[in-house]
Amino acid sequence: MYKKKIKKNTITHFGFQNVPTFIKSYLVSNVFHKVATKYDLMNDLMSFGIHRIWKQFLIQQSEVHNGYKVLDLAGGTGDLSIKFSKLVGKKGIVILLDNNDTMLRLGQKKLRNLGILNNVHYIQANAEFLPFSENTFNCVAISFGLRNFTYKQKSLYEIYRVLRPGGKLLILDFSIPTSKLLTILYDLYSFHIIPKIGKIIAQDSKSYQYLVESIRMHPDQETLKNMILSIGFNDVQYFNMTGGIAALHCAYKY
């Protein structure tokens, strides 16, 4: 009865499950509240540390300089913000934005422990409704965040609005492996090993099952490129990394 009342366009996916659109963000938040304290450790274990190389590549492509204003969107525990804070220096500003207070607090603690005190600000907000005026940032970066948003297109429009003309968008996320053999091995690892690592380390296999499923539901390289183009961004290009397991999409607002 309850299901019948929900129109098709109010259904979205949460991993492989279809769920009413209005609860997706609540379900995603629950996942990140649960995994937050083990988030950094799990990233290193699951990716054998390779996520650090992917993030470093994003930073290299960012063209961020001294004095820039940068938005680390869905920034979580702040890996990108740490690196951006060094690039923007004392005259610049990094905003670490996340809608999950547990992730955000852990990020803030991590950066403070590293002595990063002055040029990073923390904002709890939804990526689909950015609390900034238009033409604010030189650069907006999202790593492993977009996949979790309910309204990806809405968020991309918001990013376009808050970027300055000439500003750069960078999106790092999991993507589609380019070889069949790698796909088979990657599927075996993702569906059979990752939830088990989640169970042992974070006492939570379900959240890591969601992670694996959400990766499979994320738009592939070309689809995401076309989504970004449809918003009005220019010079959209992507780089496959580790055989397409992850991809970095870059674009400009002119």
Ligand X SMILES: C[S@@+](CC[C@H](N)C(=O)[O-])C[C@H]1O[C@@H](n2cnc3c(N)ncnc32)[C@H](O)[C@@H]1O
Q: Give contact residues for ligand X (rule: CB under 6 A).
A: 25, 28, 32, 74-77, 79, 98-100, 103, 126-128, 143-145, 148-149
Which residues share a beta bridge with 96? 72, 122
Could you give the CA distance from residue 25 to residue 147 in angstroms, rounded to a whole number?
A: 12
220 in a known ligand binding site: no
| 30 marked among binding-site residues | no
Smaller CB separation from ligand X, 2 or 48: 48
Least separation in angstroms between residue 97's CB and ligand X is 6
137-143/69-73 β-pairing: parallel
What is the distance between the alpha carbons of residues 218 and 197, in angstroms, rounded to a whole number?
22
Nearest distance from C-beta of residue 254 to ligand X, angstroms: 26
Longest dimension (CA), the chain: 58
- Residue 239 gets which letter from DSSP? E
Which residue, among 246, 207, 218, has the nearest Cα to 28 in the 3D structure?
207
We find the least distance from the C-beta atom of residue 21 to ligand X, in angstroms, to be 12
| C-alpha dist (Å) from residue 144 to 88, 185, 197 | 22, 21, 19
| Residue with smaller CB distance to ligand X, 90 or 109 | 109
Do the annotations mark residue 127 as ligand-binding?
A: yes
98 vs 244, beta carbon nearer ligand X: 98
To the nearest whole angstrom, how small is the minimum distance from the Cβ of residue 181 to ligand X? 27
Minimum CB–partner distance for residue 171 and ligand X (Å): 11
Q: Is 143 annotated as a binding residue?
A: yes
Q: Which residues pair with 95 in a beta bridge?
A: 71, 121
Nearer to ligand X, 74 or 87 (CB): 74
Binding site annotation covers 119? no
Query: Which pair of tokens denotes residue 101?
Result: 């207070």
Q: Is 142 helix (H, G, I), strand (E, B) or coil?
A: strand
Residue nearest to ligand X (CB): 76
**Pair 77, 52: CB distance under 8 Å:** no
Closer CB to ligand X, residue 55 or residue 253? 55
Q: In 124-204, which ranges are continuous DSSP H helix?
A: 152-162, 180-188, 194-202
Q: Which position has the token pair 């075996």?
A: 188
* Residue 127 CB, nearest approach to ligand X (Å): 3
Q: Which is nearer to ligand X, 46 or 127 (CB)?
A: 127
Which residues contribute to the annotated binding site? 77, 98, 126-127, 143
Task: List binding-site positions for S-adenosyl-L-methionine.
Answer: 77, 98, 126-127, 143
